Amino acid sequence: MNRQLIFIGLACLVSACAGRKIGTPPSLGNIAIPVQRGINYSDSSDLKSMVINYWANAKINDWGDEGKIDFKIPRAILGRLLAKKDIQETNAYLLKQFPKGKIGSKWLLNPYGGYDFTAMSLMPVLYLFDASPELLYPETKQHLIKNILTIKGAGFSRNVPRLCFQDSENHILMGEGSRYLMNQYLWDNGEKDPQYDNKNNGVETGLIAYLKEIEEHGIFEYNAKPYLGYTYSALMNLNAFGRGEIKTLATKILDHINWQYALNSYDFKHCPPYRRRFKKNIDQDIVSDYHSVMLTLWASQISIDKSLSISSGKHIALWATMLPYRPSDDVMKWSLAKPNAYFVKIGHGHNACPEICSGDKTYHLSAGGANQGRASLIVPQATMLFLADSASKLKELFYLSDPSKSLMRWNNTGVCEDFACAKGIVHVPSNKKPVLDSNNWSIYSISKGVFLATYSKKEVALLVIIRASSGIDAFQAVLKNNPDIQKYATQFTHPNGNVLHYDLDAPKTKWVIKSINGIEQERDFEKWPFFDGSIDPY
């Protein structure tokens, strides 16, 4: 009994942490979320074919009567139907399945939980192949409706089953989104039982309210690893198969998170702070998160002079191959290439940390954020410099590192325009050699006319992007503006003209940068808007 009580207590804690703390919704800020769509996408690409064929050739293991089944099974079914391969065997397999799965997170009193992963993943089978009896046999479809897609009926709930705490964002969207779509399908096909009437059974009302909350406050599990991929897929289902306000809200949320990605990624390198699963160490892989996978797949369907591939995340990429959502034109343009210069602060609201980035066509500085306490579930990263190279691992980047190796206690928000600072050291990749070393400064060539100056001494770490005709000119510009090294711990005059004051010991709730050119900054980043800064248009 004591063990059971411990499990219940832990489940309560996890559920409470994964729920939203409302706070005040952020304002939009001075950078609008782009929505215009005019890019022509090809119906096919080598990468799209690879993803579909990967799943069409995947083995389907015995399903059994589990709750949260192997995520590969529904994707293998989808892959075969999309590729029109092994259709008879696939239908025969589905007809044998009688799962016991339940909605919501799996825990002691909900042992068959997690079935929303399966329901969300199989919902496209019903909607995409409903009118294709040669692929989804009529008897298989009826079995799918009656015995497999069991999340349906009246009521909308945000809570973990048998607990008074809100479930995690991805579970709510997968589970209640599947309930809404299943009810809609049944009602449209003659099942007029009131429990399937989304207009009056509480499902549509509840789902709209929840989606509005996400639209107003932003994704709670932002950049979540691995959960954003499942949230992404659930929203794409609602965009593809939902109607009216449900469809509109799902589209707006997708546009929002894709704009965040486009601004704070570089050549599909993406390693921002995120919320949910704690790790002992900062991420080492900078190219394989699920957001990058989706944008890479869509980019492969645009006529570009670039070879694209993905190394993981094919189970999430499958949604980009088969559903109609496409990002706005500017999201694709900013994901593929950057304008001349930009500096953007991306707010995430209450009990969260921001994303801060600065760059141009040849580089991208990305701040690592700061943990806001264990209950915040914020996982910070190092401040990283992405360059136009083949780097795919953290060790191949310039980044600011905490010598204590405890990023959870480190405020890693010290990024401003063409500048980053931290109370730590600068990691230099082994293959990067300076063009000049002097006075604890090292100068590296980034591209023609653009140089990186690094300073790392006595718990003062600086990354400075400088535009100059040579490495010597860059170095002289730094020393001319900053002759007193004792001031480096608190202030720096950038060769671009900005006079910066900062606090390397700033509390984790404050932006490290204190003032710019004598103007005090809003350092409480919980109050920051969604998008604020300057970007050069195309």
- Residue 348: what pLDDT? 97
Q: Please, what's the b/e burial string for 399-424 (b: 16 or more CB within 10 A of its CB; e: otherwise)?
A: bbbbeeeebeebbbbbbbbbbbbbbb
- Residue 161: what pLDDT? 86
> Is the Cβ–Cβ distance between 236 and 195 less than 8 Å?
no
pLDDT in tens, 68-113: 778 899 999 999 999 999 999 999 999 999 888 888 888 888 888 8
Tell me the sheet residues that pair with 464.
419, 453
pLDDT in tens, 28-77: 999 999 999 999 999 999 999 999 999 999 998 877 666 677 889 999 99
- Residue 12: what pLDDT? 42
Start-to-end Cα distance in the chain: 64
pLDDT band per the 50, 70, 90 thresholds, residue 21: low
Report the chain's mean pLDDT, rounded to a whole number.
91
Between 99-108, 128-137, 203-212, 505-514, the lowest mean confidence (pLDDT) is in 99-108
- Residue 4: what pLDDT? 40
Each as own residue / partner, the long-range contacts of residues 130-133 (CB below 8 Å, 24 or more positions apart, any chain) are: 130/185
pLDDT in tens, 407-448: 788 899 999 999 999 999 999 999 999 999 998 999 999 999
pLDDT band per the 50, 70, 90 thresholds, residue 1: very low
Q: Which residue has the tokens 């009193």?
A: 109
Q: How far is CA 246 from CA 156, 158, 203, 490, in A?
A: 14, 17, 11, 49
For range 499-511, the mean pLDDT: 97
Instruction: Please provide residue 89's backbone torsions phi and psi, each rounded to the nearest 5 degrees.
Output: -65, -35
Tell me the sheet residues that pair with 438.
441
Between 7-21, 141-155, 523-537, the lowest mean confidence (pLDDT) is in 7-21
Among 407, 409, 404, 382, CA closest to 395: 382
What are the DSSP calls for 380-398, one per residue?
Answer: ---EEEEESS---BGGGSE
**Residue 374: other Cβ atoms inside 10 A:** 11
The kind and range of the H/E element at 212 are helix 203-217
pLDDT in tens, 359-376: 999 999 999 999 998 888
- Residue 30: what pLDDT? 96
Q: What is d(CA 384, CA 401) in angstroms, rounded to the nearest whole number? A: 9
pLDDT in tens, 239-249: 999 999 999 99
Single-letter residue type at 317: A
- Residue 311: what pLDDT? 85
**Residues sharing a CB contact under 8 Å with residue 530, sequence separation 6 or more, in sequence order:** 26, 27, 28, 29, 33, 218, 256, 346, 347
Whether the predicted model's global pTM rises above the 0.85 cut:
yes
